[in-house]
A and B are shown apart, each in its own frame.
Chain A
C-alpha cells in the first residue's frame, strides 16, 4: 500500500514517466502511442517517393512529451519512438543506437549526481520501460527479437508485446504467447514480469501481478478512429466480418497494459530503473574508470 500513500502526496505534483517503444515498422507502434495518449502525438508516417523506396532508412530516436490526466493524477509522459528499427537489410547497427541512447541518459544522471552544486530542476530522462513489439507470425521469436531483448535487458525494463494482435484467432494467440515465453526462458532473457513475493505481499498484489504475468506478452490492437457501435462511439476497427474493440478486454490486452503502465506499476518500473538498473550501470562505469586510473 506504501506506493499508493506516496501517490496521494505526489498527486498534486504529478509523476514523470518515460516509455520507449521499439519494433519493426508496420507493427502498429505509432498507432499504439496515439491510442495510449488518446491524441495525435506521433504524426502518421509520410511515405516517401516510390522511387526512393529502396533506400534503407537507418534507425532514428524521437522523443515526444505529453501531459496526461489519469483519474486526477497528472502524468508527464515522455514517449521515445524508434522509427527505422529492423527496416534495413542488415540490422546489426540498430541495437547499438538504442543502447547508446539509454546509456547516455544514465551518463547524464551520473555526471549530475557528481556535481558539487546539483541542479534541483534537472530533468531525468532515463527510460523506465521499453515496449518491444513482436510480429504476429504465429511461430516463435525471430533472431532480431532475441538479440534486441538480450542486449537491452541489462539497461532497461523490457515488456514484450504482440503488435496487430487481431491477426490471430484466440487459440493461435494462446499458443503463440506460450511459445514466446518459452523462447524468452530458454534464452535467459530477464524481462519485466511483474515481480511479486507470495510470502511478503498481500493477496491482492499477488493476484494482480500473477494475472498480468500470465498475459505476457500483451496482445495489442491500436486504433485512433472512433466508430459508432450500438449507439455508442468507441475506438474500434471495422472489418467486413466484424468489429474489433480496442478497449474490450476480450479482444485484446490494451486496457490492462495501459492501466499497469500508467497507474498500478508506474512506480515499480521507476524504482527498478533507479535502484537496480541504474545502480548496476553506475557500478560498472565507475569500476571501469577507476580501473583505468589505477593502471
Chain B
C-alpha cells in the first residue's frame, strides 16, 4: 500500500525536530571499550579522540610491587558537552591483557564483562519498575593490533572471534607511524584476509545513504578498515610552520589529523560524527537481542544465569583445599584410633586385675570353707 501524500502540511514533517529536542534534552550514553596489549597507545588515543584528558597516563613508580598476573577491567566515566548537548561517556580499559608469558584464557574477564552488561540490562528490564535503567552495554570495542607488519597473532584471532559475536568490533592498527605507506597497505590487506578466512565479525554499516556525498564518504571510511592510528595530545610545529597535534621526530613531524599520515580523522568521524547512534542502536537491536534470545531459549524469566566455573586457578585452589582437609581428617582419625587402642589396653589390664582379685577371693573363700569344714566336725 503506497503512502498517501498529505496535501497541505499538517506537521508530520516536524517529527524529526521533536525527536531532536527530546534527544538534546536527554543527552546520550556511549560506552567504548579499548582492548589490546599495553604500550599500544590506547590511553593516548582516547585522550586524542576526545581532545581532553579522559585517562591520565600511567605512573611507573609502583610497577615493582605488582605481583598479580591478572587482566583487569578499568572503567572511566566522563561527561562531555558540546554546544549544550551532553554525552555520558564510559571508557572501558583492559590493562594486563596480552602482557604475560602465558596468556591462555586471558580474554575471559573481558568477555565476561561484556556478557554481564547484557545480562544486567536484561534483568533490569524484567523488573516491575524499569524507568531508571543503568545501561553499561558496550557499544563499540576498538581492538588494537600491534604493527608487526606480518599478520595477526593467534592471541588476536582468539579474542577477536569472541568479541565479534558480542559487540561492535572495530580493529585498529596502533602506532601506525612505525610503518611506511607500502608496508601499511600490505599489512592492512593481510589483516583483512585473515579476518575473512577466520570468520571474525567486524562492525559494518550500510553504505548507501540519501545524498551522494555521504555515500562516498561512507565508502572511503569502510575502505580504510582496519584504521591506522597515531595518537598525540601535544602541539608541535611542522617544518612549514603549522601548529598541529602530532609527534616530533628528528626526521619530521607525524601529524594526527593528516589523512596521508593516518586514518585518525576517518575513525573519529565514524565513532562520533556520523555513526555513534548507529553503534548504539546496533548494540541494542542486534547484539543485545542475540544475547537475550539465546538466554531466553534456555532459561525462564527470573532465573539466575548458570555460571560455569571453569577458571583453572580456582580449580587449583579447590584441589589444594581438598587435600588439606583430607590430610587433617586423616590426622584426627589416627589420633582417635590410637586413643581407642589405649582405652582397650587399659580395659584389658583392669579386667586382668579384676580377674586376679576375683581368683584371689575365690581362693580365700575356699580356704575359709575348708577351715569351717575342719572346725565343725570337732564340735560334734
The answer to the question of B177 belonging to the interface, with a C-beta cut-off of 8 Å to chain A, is: yes
Instruction: With CB as the reference atom, state the residue of chain A lying closest to B63.
Output: A140
Structural contact, B198 and A91, CB atoms closer than 8 A: no
Structural contact, A26 and B102, CB atoms closer than 8 A: no
For A, the interface residue count at a CB cutoff of 8 angstroms equals 47
Partner of B38, one of A45, A139, A179, A183: A139
Using A54-B157, A137-B39, A241-B254 as known contacts, say yes or no to A143 and B100 having CB atoms under 8 A apart. yes
Using A26-B147, A51-B198, A88-B154 as known contacts, say yes or no to A144 and B101 having CB atoms under 8 A apart. yes
Interface set, chain B 102-142, CB cutoff 8 A to A: 102-104
Bound: A222/B104 CA distance, A: 32
The answer to the question of A251 belonging to the interface, with a C-beta cut-off of 8 Å to chain B, is: yes
Contacts of A137 in B (CB 8 A): 37-40
The answer to the question of B7 belonging to the interface, with a C-beta cut-off of 8 Å to chain A, is: no
Contacts of B16 in A (CB 8 A): none
Instruction: With CB as the reference atom, state the residue of chain A lying closest to B159.
Output: A89
Structural contact, A143 and B101, CB atoms closer than 8 A: yes
Interface set, chain A 219-249, CB cutoff 8 A to B: 237-245
Structural contact, A26 and B254, CB atoms closer than 8 A: no
Contacts of A89 in B (CB 8 A): 102-104, 154-155, 158
Instruction: With CB as the reference atom, state the residue of chain B lying closest to A47.
Output: B151
Contacts of A90 in B (CB 8 A): 101-104
Least Cβ–Cβ distance between B137 and chain A, in angstroms = 28
Tally of contacts, chain A with chain B, CB under 8 A: 125
Least Cβ–Cβ distance between A179 and chain B, in angstroms = 6
Per-residue 0/1 for B164-187: is the Cβ within 8 Å of any A Cβ (1 yes, 0 no)? 000000000001011011000000
* A-side interface mostly: loop
Using A92-B101, A240-B261 as known contacts, say yes or no to A53 and B154 having CB atoms under 8 A apart. yes
Structural contact, B147 and A242, CB atoms closer than 8 A: no
Least Cβ–Cβ distance between A262 and chain B, in angstroms = 26
For B, the interface residue count at a CB cutoff of 8 angstroms equals 50
The answer to the question of B55 belonging to the interface, with a C-beta cut-off of 8 Å to chain A, is: no
Bound: A250/B175 CA distance, A: 21
Instruction: With CB as the reference atom, state the residue of chain A lying closest to B197.
Output: A50
Structural contact, A45 and B100, CB atoms closer than 8 A: no
Contacts of B178 in A (CB 8 A): 136, 164, 166-167
Structural contact, A53 and B152, CB atoms closer than 8 A: yes
Interface set, chain B 213-269, CB cutoff 8 A to A: 247-255, 258, 260-261
Q: A25-B148, A26-B150 provided; 5 other pairs, C-beta below 8 A? A: A90-B103, A137-B38, A164-B178, A186-B64, A244-B251
Closest 3 CB pairs of A and B: A26-B148, A137-B39, A242-B252
Which residues of B pack against A, CB within 8 Å? 37-40, 58, 60, 63-64, 69, 99-104, 146-155, 157-158, 175, 177-178, 180-181, 190, 193-194, 196-198, 247-255, 258, 260-261
Which residues of A pack against B, CB within 8 Å? 25-27, 45, 47, 49-51, 53-56, 87-92, 135-140, 142-144, 147, 164, 166-167, 169-170, 179, 183, 186, 237-245, 250-251
What are 29 A-B pairs with beta-carbon distances under 8 A?
A26-B148, A47-B151, A47-B190, A49-B197, A50-B193, A51-B197, A53-B152, A53-B197, A56-B154, A90-B104, A135-B39, A136-B39, A136-B178, A137-B37, A137-B40, A139-B38, A143-B100, A164-B147, A167-B175, A169-B247, A169-B248, A186-B64, A239-B251, A240-B181, A240-B258, A241-B261, A242-B252, A244-B249, A245-B251
